[in-house]
Structure 1
Amino acid sequence: MAFPSRHSLFPFLTWLPRQTRASVGRDLLVGLSGAILALPQSIAYALIAGLPPEYGLYAAIIPVLIACLWGSSWHLICGPTAAISIVLYASVSPLAVPASEDYVTLILLLTLLAGVFQWLLGLLRFGALVNFVSHSVVLGFTLGAAVVIAIGQLPNLLGLDVPNQATALDSLLMVFKHLGEVDKPSLALGLATVVVGVILKLLLRRWPTLLITLILSGLLVWLWPAMFGHVKLVSAFVGRLPPFSPLPLDLDLILRLLPSAVAVGMLGLVTSLSIARSLSARSQQLLDANQEVRAQGLSNMVGAFFSGSLSAGSFTRSGLSYEAGACSPLAGVFSALWVALFAIFGANLIAHIPIPAMAGSILLIAWGLVDHRGIRALWRVSRAEFLVMALTCIATLLLELQTAIYAGVLASLFFYLKRTSQPRVQHWRDGDEDILRVGGSIFFGASHYLQVRLQRMHGVRVVIEAQQINFIDYSGVEMLHQEARRLLQQNRSLTLRGARPPVVEELRKLEGAEKCPIRFED
Structure 2
Amino acid sequence: MRLPTRQSLLPFLRWLPSVNRKKLSNDALVGLTGAILALPQSIAYALIAGLPAEYGLYAAIVPVIIAALWGSSWHLICGPTAALSIVLFTSVSPMATPGSDTYIGLILLLSFMAGIFQWLLGLLRFGALVNFVSHSVVLGFTLGAALVIALGQLPNLLGIEIASQPTALATVLNLGQHLSEIDWPTFAVAGFTLVISVLIKLLLPRWPALLIGLLAGSLLVLFMPKQFAHVGLVAAFEGSLPPLHILDFNLNDITRLLPAAIACGMLGLVTSLSIARSLATKSRQFLDANQEVRAQGFSNMVGPWFSAYASAGSFTRSALNLQAGAKTPLAGVFSAILVALFALFGTQLIEHIPLPSMAAGILIICWGLLDFAGVKSLYRVSRSEFLVMLLTLGATLLMELQTAIYAGVLASLFFYLKRTSQPRVRFWQEDEEALLRIEGSIFFGACHYVQQILQRSQGERVIIDAHHVNFIDYAGVEMLHQEARRLGSLKRQLVMRRARQQVIDEIQKLEGAEACPIVFED
What TM-score do you get using the length of structure 2 for normalisation?
0.85
Residue matched to 1:259 = 263
Contact 1:260 1:402 in 2 (8 A): no
Contact 1:39 1:57 in 2 (8 A): no
Is residue 310 of structure 1 aligned with residue 316 of structure 2?
A: no
Q: Secondary structure at the match of 1:388?
A: helix
How many angstroms apart in 2 are the aligned matches of 1:72 and 1:181?
46
Per-residue deviation, 1:321? 6.0
Per-residue deviation, 1:484? 1.3
Residue matched to 1:33 = 29
How many angstroms apart in 1 are the aligned matches of 2:477 and 2:427?
21
How many angstroms apart in 1 are the aligned matches of 2:133 and 2:11?
29
Residue matched to 1:43 = 39
Per-residue deviation, 1:250? 5.7
How do 1:66-81 residues align onto structure 2 when only pairs under 5 Å count? 66-72=66-72, 75-80=74-79
262-271 or 494-503, which moves further after superposition?
262-271
How many angstroms apart in 1 are the aligned matches of 2:106 and 2:143?
26
Residue matched to 1:221 = 221
Structure 1 counterpart of 2:273, one-letter code: L
How many angstroms apart in 1 are the aligned matches of 2:368 and 2:106?
29
Residue matched to 1:88 = 84
**Structure 1 residues not aligned, in runs of 5+:** none
CA deviation profile, 1:135-175 (whole Å, cap 9, x unmatched): 22222222222222222222212212222333333332222
Residue matched to 2:472 = 472
Contact 1:239 1:346 in 2 (8 A): no
Per-residue deviation, 1:359? 1.7
Structure 2 counterpart of 1:33, one-letter code: L
Distance 1:11 1:385, change over 3 A: same
Contact 1:140 1:390 in 2 (8 A): yes
247-256 or 417-426, which moves further after superposition?
247-256
How many angstroms apart in 1 are the aligned matches of 2:131 and 2:5?
30
Contact 2:118 2:265 in 1 (8 A): no
CA RMSD of aligned residues (A): 3.2
Residue matched to 2:498 = 498
Residue matched to 2:272 = 268
Structure 1 counterpart of 2:464, one-letter code: I
Per-residue deviation, 1:427? 0.4
Q: Secondary structure at the match of 1:236?
A: coil
CA deviation profile, 1:292-335 (whole Å, cap 9, x unmatched): 3211221233234432552327244256566x4x5xx5565455
Q: Secondary structure at the match of 1:379?
A: helix
Distance 1:180 1:244, change over 3 A: farther
Distance 1:40 1:257, change over 3 A: same
Distance 1:191 1:309, change over 3 A: farther
- % identity of equivalent residues: 52
Contact 1:494 1:519 in 2 (8 A): yes
Per-residue deviation, 1:247? 6.6
Residue matched to 1:351 = 351
How many angstroms apart in 2 are the aligned matches of 1:225 and 1:300?
43
Residue matched to 2:99 = 101
Distance 1:290 1:265, change over 3 A: closer
Residue matched to 1:487 = 487
Structure 1 counterpart of 2:137, one-letter code: V
Distance 1:218 1:376, change over 3 A: same
CA deviation profile, 1:483-502 (whole Å, cap 9, x unmatched): 11211222211111111121
Count of aligned positions:
504
How many angstroms apart in 2 are the aligned matches of 1:296 and 1:521?
53
Q: Secondary structure at the match of 2:199?
A: helix
Distance 1:150 1:113, change over 3 A: farther
Residue matched to 1:429 = 429
How many angstroms apart in 1 are the aligned matches of 2:499 and 2:176?
65
Q: Secondary structure at the match of 2:459?
A: coil
299-308 or 477-486, which moves further after superposition?
299-308
Distance 1:391 1:33, change over 3 A: same
How do 1:108-257 residues align onto structure 2 when only pairs under 5 Å count? 112=112, 114-244=114-244, 249=253, 251-256=255-260
228-237 or 198-207, which moves further after superposition?
198-207
Structure 2 counterpart of 1:298, one-letter code: F
CA deviation profile, 1:461-481 (whole Å, cap 9, x unmatched): 111111111111111111111
CA deviation profile, 1:193-228 (whole Å, cap 9, x unmatched): 222222222222222211111111111111111011
Is residue 371 of structure 1 aligned with residue 371 of structure 2?
A: yes
Per-residue deviation, 1:54? 6.0
Contact 1:118 1:294 in 2 (8 A): yes
Per-residue deviation, 1:344? 3.0
How many angstroms apart in 1 are the aligned matches of 2:189 and 2:464?
71
How many angstroms apart in 2 are the aligned matches of 1:428 and 1:144?
47
Per-residue deviation, 1:259? 3.4
Structure 2 counterpart of 1:101, one-letter code: G
Contact 1:43 1:54 in 2 (8 A): no
What TM-score do you get using the length of structure 1 for normalisation?
0.85
CA deviation profile, 1:21-57 (whole Å, cap 9, x unmatched): xx45445324313312312332354367465876665
Contact 1:193 1:213 in 2 (8 A): yes
How many angstroms apart in 1 are the aligned matches of 2:185 and 2:116?
46
Contact 2:190 2:357 in 1 (8 A): yes
Contact 1:32 1:338 in 2 (8 A): no
Structure 1 counterpart of 2:121, one-letter code: L
Is residue 409 of structure 1 aligned with residue 409 of structure 2?
A: yes
Per-residue deviation, 1:405? 2.1
Residue matched to 1:517 = 517
How many angstroms apart in 2 are the aligned matches of 1:271 and 1:263?
12
How many angstroms apart in 2 are the aligned matches of 1:116 and 1:32?
31
Distance 1:116 1:134, change over 3 A: farther
Structure 2 counterpart of 1:19, one-letter code: P
CA deviation profile, 1:242-284 (whole Å, cap 9, x unmatched): 34456785644553564354234212123224534765x55xx
How many angstroms apart in 2 are the aligned matches of 1:504 and 1:175?
64
Contact 2:466 2:496 in 1 (8 A): yes
Q: Secondary structure at the match of 2:520?
A: strand
